[in-house]
Amino acid sequence: MNQPSSARLHAGIEKLGLILDPPAEQRLLDYLELLSKWNRVYNLTAIRDESEMVSQHLLDSLAVLSYLNGNSIRTLADVGSGGGLPGIPLAIARPQIKVALIESSQKKASFLQQVKIELGLKNVSVHCLRIQDFKTSELFDRVISRAFSSLKEFVFQSSHLLAAGGRLLAMKGIHPKHEIADLPSGWQIRQVIPLQVPELEAQRHLIVIEKA
């Protein structure tokens, strides 16, 4: 990994107001290198340039990190994880949180398993199946998605994974006012949080959903 990407990641983490130890930053760069390498064969992301991946993938994922603070958040599910975003960066940054990556594509799930092994991510589990087919006795404090589906579909497909008092976190681009208006009965928006991602001019929002 070249120095500019390392420097850009470190500067971006500082701009987000986060404090990560050097091993975590290196793991993020190692993940990016694996993502770039496997992307040539498995088409994990449309972004090919590693320096662009720093802002578009790593910093974009880490922008929600401050909303995963608190002792009450011990488990997180990343639904439709794809190439591991945002789940893997969040798992690297918060090793005390158990992160389940749920991805229906066998190729992508194989990549996620390889990342878990190569980076030694003991707090990560990989599950290759459709979200609605995922059954577990250990429900999650938070369920997150990034550019996965409409808010309505997110609720329908993922709400069975939530523990009592848990919340759904949807990472979106522009403010999804029409999707918010279409939210299923029994669910409400707790917060709509504008996110500022370093080196990214596009709009980003975090939508926090909970039972009404």
Query: What tens digit of pLDDT does each residue of 100-110 get?
Result: 999 999 999 99
Number of separate domains in the chain: 1
What does the pLDDT look like over 106-129, one tens digit per residue? 999 999 999 999 999 999 999 999
Domain membership of residue 192 as a residue range: 59-211
pLDDT at 186: 97
Give the lowest-confidence range in 19-23, 96-100, 170-174.
Answer: 19-23
pLDDT at 3: 52
pLDDT interval class at 1 (50, 70, 90): very low
Most confident listed range (32-36, 67-71, 73-77): 73-77
> Domain for residue 201, yes or no?
yes
> Domain for residue 54, yes or no?
no
> Domain for residue 25, yes or no?
no
Tell me the helices (H) and strands (E) count for the chain, helix number first. Answer: 8, 7
Beta strands in the chain (DSSP E): 75-79, 98-102, 124-127, 140-146, 162-172, 187-194, 205-211
| 176 cis-preceded (ω within 30 degrees of 0) | no
Q: Is the pLDDT of residue 150 over 80?
A: yes
> Domain for residue 118, yes or no?
yes
> Domain for residue 18, yes or no?
no
> Domain for residue 100, yes or no?
yes
- Give yes or no for a contact between 55 and 47, defined as CB atoms under 8 angstroms apart: no
pLDDT interval class at 70 (50, 70, 90): confident
Beta carbons within 8 Å of 69's beta carbon, 6+ residues apart: none
What does the pLDDT look like over 169-192, one tens digit per residue? 999 999 999 999 999 999 999 999
